[in-house]
């Protein structure tokens, strides 16, 4: 996977926000990161730059991590286009 350490941290926070660890392992512990790494080397390769840009924007705008749900909600409301709500890339590309 060609993500920086910070981007990997953000991705882990995002997937664990969707399927959090509780009584059972969360998404990251279940291998979502490994699955995405394989996909970024194959089917998602053309989208990797957009994913990296989206993760970097996420780091810049949506810290602390609990705000990730706000971005997902904005995408569902149709605010996921580039430039909407300060987000520099089209969030729908990487969500």
Instruction: Express each pLDDT in 12-68 by its tens digit.
Output: 988 998 999 999 999 999 999 999 999 999 999 999 999 888 888 877 776 654 455
pLDDT value for 55: 86
Q: For the chain, how many structural domains are there in total?
A: 1
The residue with greater pLDDT, 33 or 69, is 33
pLDDT over 80 at 10, yes or no: yes
Residue 38 neighbours by CB distance under 10 Å:
13
Which residue segment(s) compose the domain that 28 sits in?
5-94
Where is pLDDT greater, at 37 or 84? 37
pTM of the model: 0.62
pLDDT value for 43: 93
State the Cα–Cα distance between residues 81 and 92, nearest whole angstrom: 7
Q: Tokens standing for 30?
A: 């279940």
Local structure of residue 84 (DSSP, 8 states): G
3-state class of 86 per DSSP? helix
């Amino acid at each position: 996977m060609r993500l920086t350490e910070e981007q990997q941290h953000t991705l882990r926070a995002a997937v664990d926000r969707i399927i959090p660890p509780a009584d059972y392992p969360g998404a990251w512990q279940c291998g979502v990161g490994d699955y995405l790494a394989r996909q970024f080397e194959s089917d998602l390769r053309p989208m990797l730059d957009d994913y990296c840009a989206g993760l970097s924007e996420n780091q810049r705008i949506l810290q602390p991590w609990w705000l990730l749900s706000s971005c997902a909600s904005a995408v569902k409301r149709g605010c996921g286009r580039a430039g909407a709500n300060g987000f520099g890339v089209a969030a729908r590309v990487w969500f």
